[in-house]
Structure 1
């Protein structure tokens, strides 16, 4: 009888521990969650016991990702395009209701293609890059701000890029979009300060994702998504305002920022270019 009682007690303790672990952790909403940086961030936060809202276009991939994470019953998936602002707002409302609030929002969705200003068919590509990387970041944050104000806390995370530090030949759309993310997040950081809402900008260098695997040139300090996610989650938890990951690219970014225009032009005018979508 004692053995039976001990076994029941042990099972009850294990169940209670599981429920406690499931309840711990922040409530995190991530766009672009189906692959690359977004999926790696989802896995990292799930390992910390977070409750996740996963937003991306491919619902089957989202379901597979959610099922692979710890405590899959905690997470919700939201299939949609970040350029569909109504879908983003609906997903935000659904996740806040599901999780009982919101702690962190990460606008991770992004695209990259080479563009040339003089090629007419590249203009719609340029518009799509700006819509996905910049306008959708705004649309991702907007529906969560009221809930964060009411709570008196929250963190909004914009994913920029070292490509936004200086303009890159053949990549005007992508460089412009990521520079815009940096400046937008800086302005938003000042606006949200009085509400107790933090705004964090993370600028990845070269991360080994489906997007960068299209590049046909050398990518210095190439980093796995898992290592990037570990560094990014630490930076977000620390409340940094702006962080380049990996740190080596941060050094490069600072040097490029201060390099005189004449020297920059001389060094980068013939730099390798990203493939154009319309050309492929």
Structure 2
């Protein structure tokens, strides 16, 4: 029986690229997406062997939905060797606007709570087995807050800290928790940006480096690494200098309209 990878947000972008990379590395796939038919059409279009993949419909923002998808995977395909909590959303918010408060809640529910709920069904059986990899997709945007990105930055900062905590909790049981922080990834969202995006990567390039880092036993990795250097330098800047550096930066699109997008995957 081959290795099994459970991947959320698999219908587009990074998730889709990770799914394809894992498949060609020998993993069978448990693919989670809200649009199950589109996901299945993609898998068939890629020529993936029917016996090596299944699609589970779920909304990671709904705890019961994503937990049920995990339980269905356990029942139908068995316990994964690799779980990648990739699903996430990025929306600009303005805290001064009452209508944006539920948007903040939705971003946190999807990007942070949804990640924990993705891992939940697999932790106890992985502990019993004594092995398994849980991978959380963070972001360089979680390393320092960016104007107009409050919800997204907060959610990804939480992902980074959550995975670090979980890594300490599960290490003695033989489980590995991996935090991956992408920089700018070439997606339809980022193509709307009106400014330079340093070290822009294709989803396929990110997926190749990500799987290499996972299988090498990394616990934390910024991809590409030069973006990690930039992020660390920004973290070290005194607040007055950091604030001046970002003054006038275009804000991210709010839901339904607003300023220019500044999407970090």
How high is the TM-score relative to the length of structure 2?
A: 0.93
User: In the TM superposition, what is the alpha-carbon distance from 1:201 to its structure 2 partner?
Assistant: 0.3
The structure-2 alpha-carbon separation of the partners of 1:86 and 1:75, relative to structure 1 and needing over 3 Å to count, comes to: same
Q: Map of 1:218-233 to 2, 5 A cutoff? A: 218-233=196-211
Aligned position for 2:124: 146
Quick one: which of 10, 16, 23 aligns to 1:33?
Answer: 10
Aligned position for 1:132: 110
User: In the TM superposition, what is the alpha-carbon distance from 1:196 to its structure 2 partner?
Assistant: 0.8
The whole-number CA distance in structure 2 between the counterparts of 1:156 and 1:144 is: 9
Aligned position for 1:245: 223
The structure-2 alpha-carbon separation of the partners of 1:106 and 1:163, relative to structure 1 and needing over 3 Å to count, comes to: same
Q: Which runs of 5+ in 1 are unaligned?
A: 1-22
1:50 aligns with 2:27: yes
Q: Could you say what secondary structure the match of 2:257 adopts?
A: coil
User: In the TM superposition, what is the alpha-carbon distance from 1:30 to its structure 2 partner?
Assistant: 0.4
Quick one: which of 122, 128, 146 aligns to 2:100?
Answer: 122
Largest Rg, 1 or 2: 1
The answer to whether the 8 A contact 2:79-2:122 is kept is: no
1:71 aligns with 2:65: no
1:156 aligns with 2:134: yes
Aligned position for 2:64: 86
Q: Which runs of 5+ in 2 are unaligned?
A: 259-265
The answer to whether the 8 A contact 1:111-1:211 is kept is: no
How high is the TM-score relative to the length of structure 1?
A: 0.88
* Of 164-173 and 216-225, the range deviating more from structure 2: 216-225
User: In the TM superposition, what is the alpha-carbon distance from 1:169 to its structure 2 partner?
Assistant: 0.5
The whole-number CA distance in structure 1 between the counterparts of 2:192 and 2:93 is: 15
1:268 aligns with 2:254: no
User: In the TM superposition, what is the alpha-carbon distance from 1:69 to its structure 2 partner?
Assistant: 4.6
1:255 aligns with 2:221: no
Aligned position for 1:171: 149
User: In the TM superposition, what is the alpha-carbon distance from 1:81 to its structure 2 partner?
Assistant: 0.8
